[in-house]
Structure 1
């Protein structure tokens, strides 16, 4: 029996490269080199049939610690809340006003990249503050 050592997180989306590049900026991830034999991703895409062109894109953690993110084009749009979402850990170890200020600053940075701030959930007896966001295609994620 084998033990799984890595996972990849896959997103269904309309514009894979656009969404991947957004998440590169959010997480400090990088776009991998184009497939062998191609000098650029544009060159690779030009070699594909029209229906395959731009149908997927990926990004990865340059340190190799975080999971690879894979984005694949699907014909249908997003219609309901995600069943799985990413928590972007921007306020780890912070509490109270300091945490909220850090989350708000990160939210402003991400809004400038095309994200949408949905709502701020303030700390209560059980949970610290977090901010619910949407990426450039409306997929929910949390800043916490």
Structure 2
């Protein structure tokens, strides 16, 4: 998935998200900071949220079941992977990939998973905390080796 596909999916799901939450067009446009006219144009497929609008909607409504099913879980991690080439942040707890993820590799106390919908990758530690995420599998594999080497050095 790239930014264009992400934006297109957000554009196409906007009306569904609004209906899921029971918002009128007036209320939804107020929440996301658009005019009602612009919102109507997006819902009709004549305009687009763009990157910034898509990120805002995905962030505000990250708990939406529509978004969860569209992107394979909370869209925040996907947004970070699209915004940054190879994303690393403080280890954040996950559910371990029980629903939207498949295990690809495991070394030492780390594992590589791939999202079954967006196809991006992440590394989890043995407590199911996310270490990093990226669309670049070579980066992820290299990072896994670095983590395993660092772990073995700490064993001595």
Coarse TM-score class (shorter-chain normalised): 0.3 to 0.5
Q: TM-score normalized by structure 1?
A: 0.33
The structure richer in helix per residue is: 2
Larger relative contact order (C-alpha < 8 A, sep ≥ 6)?
A: 1
Q: TM-score normalized by structure 2?
A: 0.32
